[in-house]
Amino acid sequence: MTAASRTFVDARRWALVGAELTFDAVAGLDDAGYAAPSALPGWTRAHVAAHVAANAEALSNLVHWAATGEPTPMYASPEDRAAGIERGRALPAARLTAWLRRSADALEAGMDRLTDEQWRHEVVTAQGRTVPATELPWMRSREVCVHAVDLATDVSFADLPADFLAALCDDVTAKRAAAPGPAVTLRTATGSRWELPGTGESFQVTGDLPAITAYLTGRDADLRTADGSPAPALGAWL
């Protein structure tokens, strides 16, 4: 699937799937469970959950912008964003889980209310990109799907929809192609292919779609090059 063929309907579906996977991942977590390490260095599961909840509220700000025309940034500042995550990760388990679901439900309800015309209105992301509101479901689907895995419970990239994984590989490859890094050609056994132009001779890497997605997004996928050495490390994606 190319970025051009990723549809608005796809993204809305993936956002719902990812949210449910996230809810499943935190179901039953107590304070000790949330305090356990996530798959992200230096972050507990509580950090990841608070980040996902805060993201829903931030995207709701952009939904408000699209609905009213009133500029409403995702976050007041990078410092405010970080402080919100710190406050959230310190919440008792039940309150953190409730915030995660409440913020997700409010975002979905807000998107449901947007008219066709409002979906076409432009908003500005936290990275300063000006995009139509129709990009918001894709932004949300990336957050909930990838971070459902990062919670390090029993959700893996193999649990995510295959069409989402292919679209995410397209998206990440396009972003990485514009930044310095190693040259890597990634292939699946079914013939899908992604290429990072990079510098130097291209590393040839073969794996299944979930593993390639994990690798491209900077997660540990234990992929190997054609000569058996580890696939080269990649820099930050977002």
pLDDT in tens, 38-49: 999 999 999 999
Domain count for the chain, please give it.
2
- Domain final position from 155, 185, 204: 155
Domain span at residue 48 reads: 3-155
The angle, 0 to 180 degrees and rounded to 10, between the axes of the packed helices 45-68 and 93-113 is 20
Give me the pLDDT at residue 1, please.
42
Q: DSSP assignment, residue 198?
A: -
Q: Are residues 76 and 132 in the same domain?
A: yes
CA atoms 211, 197, 189, 141: torsion sign = positive
Give me the pLDDT at residue 26, please.
97
Classify residue 70 as exposed, middle or buried by CB count within 10 Å of its CB (0-12, 13-18, 19+).
Answer: exposed
pTM of the model: 0.94
Q: Are residues 69 and 144 in the same domain?
A: yes
Give me the pLDDT at residue 3, please.
47
Give the Cα separation of 133 and 65 in Å (integer).
Answer: 9
Give me the pLDDT at residue 221, please.
82
- Domain final position from 155, 175, 201: 155
Give me the pLDDT at residue 214, please.
96
CATH value at residue 109: 1.20.120.450
Give me the pLDDT at residue 207, please.
95
- Domain final position from 98, 130, 155: 155
Q: Are residues 108 and 205 in the same domain?
A: no
Q: Are residues 213 and 133 in the same domain?
A: no
By the 8 A CB rule, do 229 and 184 touch?
no
Q: Are residues 9 and 98 in the same domain?
A: yes
Q: Are residues 138 and 161 in the same domain?
A: no
CATH value at residue 178: 3.30.1050.20
pLDDT digits over 156-170, tens only?
999 999 999 999 999
Q: Are residues 173 and 147 in the same domain?
A: no
Q: Are residues 161 and 128 in the same domain?
A: no
Give me the pLDDT at residue 237, please.
83
Q: Are residues 140 and 222 in the same domain?
A: no
Q: Are residues 130 and 224 in the same domain?
A: no
Q: Are residues 25 and 80 in the same domain?
A: yes
Q: Are residues 145 and 29 in the same domain?
A: yes
Other beta carbons within 10 Å of 176:
23
Ranges of the chain whose pLDDT falls below 50: 1-4
